[in-house]
Structure 1
Amino acid sequence: MSMPQRPWTRLVRVATATVFSVAGAVALMPSAASAADDPAPGAIVDLPGCTENSMPGGSYTYQGVQLSAPLNVHGGSVGTVNVHNHGIVSAYGDQASLNIYPIYSWDDTGGDSYSATTYGQTMWEGHAALCMNWLDLTNAAGTFHASSQALIVDRSDLQPGDYDVVINVDTVHQPATAYAYIGYSTYRDANTWQQSQDFIAGSGYGGLLDDANTATGAIHRSRESDVLGRYVYRFRNGQRLDTPAPDTTIEAKPADRSSGTGPAFTYDRTGSADHLRFECRLHETGATAGDFATCDDEGTSYDDLADGSYVFEVRAVDTYGGTDASPATATFEVDTTGPVVKLDETPSSLTNDNVPFFTWSSPDADVDDEAYSCHLDRTPSAEPSPWWDCTSGEEITNLGDGDWRFQVKGHDDLGNEGEAVSYDFTIDTDAPVVELTEKPAARGNVTSPAVAWTSADDVDFFECTLDRTDGEGSPWHECASGDELDVTDGDWTFQVRATDVAGNEGEPTSYAFTVDTEKSSVTLTATPKALGNDATPFFGYAADPSTDLDHFMCAVVPVGAQHATPVTCAADGFTSEPLTDGDYHFAVVAVDSAGNESDPASFDFTVDTVAPETTVTSGPAATIGTGAASFGFASSETPATFECRISAATSAAWQPCDGTSKAFTGLTDGTWTFEVRATDAAGNTDATPAARPVKVNLGQPTITAAVSSPTPVSEHGWYRDAVTITYTCNGNGSPLVGACPAPRQVPRAQQGKVVFRAGVTTADGDTASVSTTLFIDKGKPQARIRGFDGRRSYSSMPKPRCKASDPRSGLADCTVSVTKVKRKNGAVFVVVKATATDKAGNVRVVKKQAPFRAA
């Protein structure tokens, strides 16, 4: 595609006149915005798809874009446009062209202006459109700056090729040296020459389109739009449409305010083009308006509208697609709600006034002072009373005690009846009664006793007074149930009365009482031992003075306990419940008739019912050969005392044993039993004394054994010959029962390990025994010569070996000797002798010989 011709070569300087002619076409130019003191916010719209594609700024470039539908330009067809980054859109096709100038500028000193450019497909007022943005159009010198947007809108819904061009301008900063253009131009080739162009007033002149010029600035004006900065051009059947859009009027509408919920509207239009349809929409005031929708030419209506303010809009659309840019508008209010009534003055919800007073008002301006109805009845009521017309402040008289309900409602100028506002109240002229629920003892010792009371009535406040019989007292003052009184010893009268919320004051309730804080003393008259084994100890005590005594309180608690629960105890003494072993604290107080408790009298004691364990720590051997024996002993508790005894056939009497040992003498033969028992400091005696038996034997027999044999025992302890065992016995003062055992002969045939036992017994039953163990081996060991053959001849001395073993005592040694022997006949022999000895000393000799011939 060839580059398009520079657009400014065809631009025509345009004056600020509102109409001018180009090639016979009429261009309608808008006048300046009337609200010059209210700067326009800009017309660019953030549409989806507008930023789908992009081009950089800084230097000239462009991009071809396919349209969604071809355009009819003077009968020629254009299907592709070129988007330029210096603020121009150009389109060529079928010998026709279209140039759009959203904002194009040339500065004699700063040159062309460029901007990063975005473009893409979007929707505009329900029609497909190509959207293009130039949001930072700036020249190299920085003297020109603008932001604009262009849309080519497909209107083939009217007829093929129809389209709209929409230019939205946000900002134009144009110096006097810069020439800016906003508008379009079209032409057809020379064969069928047709041309059309339109630029807004001020285009082609330095500075006139700048935002600061409120008369000619681009953002202060518009074309076929009520949005400042928006310029709309419509093209139908290949030509720009100069027919004005239709104007719409509303002929009939509802009243500005009514109670009707189904408003109806009729409307009409004016305009040179043929009428196509009306479009309507309805929305609540202040809410975002929805889309327009086609509505009946004869009029439209709505059903069941909720209360509120509404805006109705209608616009006409002609056959060219021209739409009234300023729809006809009607505002109205639907009000079906009756007025709200607010009670301003009411009696108390509980009152003793039987002539109650009410005033009320309504914030609604559409209700007057006489448009109210009232109703008064008991609650509940068997026969409700009728409503009556009433005015605020009207007096109501002579109501009896009980529950009442007052109601009032209003009526507005539309006939709407409001919701009734109700007020429930109770008239009570009965005085309240007070009943005391907590009070001091008639005679007590509390100087700040609490007093509590209750009333079945709806009390507003209570008042109290406290008087002493000697004249000291207090005036009536407000008080609360549970308050504490401040009293001293003496006689007092307390009074309380109530005033209910209705204002009724009741009769006082009185109570008289006496305070006595003097206390008596108590002393202990009997106690258990400080350390004892009595688990139910007894305590005696006495009070001084005893004339005002009411009772005693006793407590026995383990030492270190955090809490004690005293019990009432008898005046003649207290016996504890059974106690477990441990340290205890006993306390007793005397309580008089006023409840005063004396300082406690106390006693600490220990209960120990566990007897000590006694042990014998030392003593003689189980059998002794003397008549004297000494024993040591100990207790599991200290301190402790001991008793001990030593008995033979009959038990002896217990005797004190000092210290921790006891020695006895003069014991005769026989079995004796020593016993010892400990008693602890609490008096507990060990019920299972410790015992140690001892046998006294003043003479013990002896028996010894002597071993003999013809050959001595080997160094390894083995015998190899017959053995004789000889015994020697001695009764040591006691005759033997029977003779001493005779000698025993061990025959040679008995070998291996042999054990012989013998014993003696004396007349007093003592015994003695001896055991003799012998090891006997009478057989020779086995022996052989290895490494020597008697069937061969030797020319040198051999080196044989001895192989020997003994199955009983084991081998002790095996030696080999080698000698040369010369016979008488001159023959020389080698003689080998092996000698094996076992551990019992038995010897076996083995010999071999063989001829010897010298080499």
Structure 2
Amino acid sequence: MAIRRGSAALLSLLVALVWLVPSAFADDAKDAGRPSVPQTQQVQRAQVQPAQAQVLTWTGNNSLNEYGEAPTTATAGAATLVFENSVATGNTSGMTHTLTFDTSTPGYNHDVDVDIVASPFDANGGRHEVQVNLSPGKYRFFCAIPGHQQMQGVLTVTEGGEQDTTAPTVTAEVTGDQDAEGNYLGSATVSVSAEDAESGVAGIEYAVGEGDFQPYSEPVTLAEPGDYTVQYRATDNAGNTSDPGSVSFTVAEGEPEDNTPPEVTAELAGNQDADGNYLGAATVILNAQDAGSGVAGIEYDLDGAGFADYSEPVRVTELGEHTVAYRATDNAGNVSEAGSATFTVIEGSQDDTTPPHVMAEVTGQQDGDGNYVGSAAVNLTAHDAESGVDTVEYSLDGGMYTPYTEPVVVSAIGSHTVEYRATDLAGNTSEPGSVSFAVVEGQPDDTAPTVTAEVTGEQDGDGAYLGAATVVISAEDAESGVASVEYALGESEFTGYTDPVEVTEPGEHTVAYRATDNAGNVSEAGSVTFTVVEGSQEDTTAPETSIRITGEQDWEWSYIDLAKITLLAEDDESGVALIEYSFGEGSFRPYRIPLTVLDPGEYTVHYRATDNAGNTSEVGTARFRIVADGVHCTVSDARETVVVGDTDTGVANVDTGNGCTINDLIVEEAGYPDQAAFVSHVRQVARDLEAQGVITAQERKAIVSAARGVPVPSAA
């Protein structure tokens, strides 16, 4: 049933009249001296009266993200749903909300159709009621107002008359900086959480050592050095209390005081002439890192005007020579020496009017239908070949645009759409792109990534490294995917790992390493120990790099519809450790597999390589153009059915609408690093074809299933 605006008030009035009219007649009959209804009839009437329905109440307030009050459990049968969105419930802004039951997402009950719109200014003053009949299972509810879709939840309905006799499930997690032996440095924080699928959690308690249990409301931090055991338990609304669990750990003295200032770097971006002058404008981008207490702030001074706080790239348009000084302060109060960058801005013949190019990638554990199990992570990248990227933003399910700083992890069950856009330093904003996907219930990823480390370099007869040793760390996570990798050299704190770690100081060294996946699981810290000695000959030669761009070209040497980029590097001494690339003024990223660029436009790609001795090659540059053309497969794979490897899928190998068949689009010889990368390629091709209506969902599954059985040779 659907209830809109004032309809609930009319329904309530009619219900009231139905109950009032018999009472009025009875009173009239009694006043007129008429016989009263026999007692047996009164009993019979009482027996057919409906049982009093349970009342479930939702409230709205000024929040766009959650209901003020929302039930999570109920009993099967009749129920009165109350939705109040008024000043009394905290809505002082006059905002409209809805209480809408999901009737389409798989995995939920769809037999209750409720869509109540409430506002403090409607005819009911924001309070509405509706009578429903609930079935055992789960109902998903949400606010359908655009931008409010994060207001959502799940109502779990159990069989009527069942009693909850199961205690809550309780878990605890200990976090903090650790040394190589697992001791927590300076302090440890214990976070406790509990779940109860039946009556719900009423409260959580904890006890430190032999102390009494006390209510838990927030994470408990223990800073005094020593050994600890923290017990925890929870009680549900039916009075069931879990058996106590416990975690034991040691808190050790913290790291020595940080007396090292941050490291600050400056990067200049913009269009340049042959002499290195910036045309029309130059943009100064500052970055700082501090491995001790962390960066507290960055400052800059443009042309001696005095230091000011740096919060975003500084765009300089005034013609002439300029000098920007910069410095940073860490949380321990250490201030770096001021660095500087000097540049010249001259008149530019062409302003940047082209917006950035933005790309999205969805990662996570998937089922056979391509749905993401438990959660999905959306990764955004942007590049701008002219003035450079200023900001990247995203919108989840029609919500407000939010600055993008890290992968967007979506765990709410159902279908989702993430829109994204980017703005360059010239103020051009791209047209919004979007990616859609579904998250389904399933076994959550509770397995940490697998991390390995390899030490490379020239060694003597005793296994010691001559002059330098390079530690290369790699991580894999087959479920939700790797989110980050960290390392710690000696007794230093863990820091983000992006490039191989070169160690040149003579002596024995230990490098610890760990990784975190997109589900938040952190691996146990591993470590490698090695010795560096003075070297007689040091590798000072950077790798040799080359690039190969392939694809069909027109008479102007432009690539038609797509271009594939393959990067190569060789190093005859210590060996190649890393190859990187960037588009335009974007940041360098690790190169793993050949890159395919599809969007028409002008492109500049930069590339470089680093060897195991830490030598980085000069940056190579290649420029190319992609143009749109209806047909680009002049020699097509015309087999009747789609064949992946040696498997005939039985799917018709049709023309995809641009002169290419499905077999043409599946590239098996691309130097994939592993089986998963090839399957990911095939899955993306099949999804695109399904979205275009070329193949059905069943045909997509058949193609992807065949890809899983193809042995793919390593890119190495």
TM range (shorter): under 0.3
Larger radius of gyration: 1
TM-score normalized by the length of structure 1: 0.16
Higher strand share: 1
Higher helix share: 2
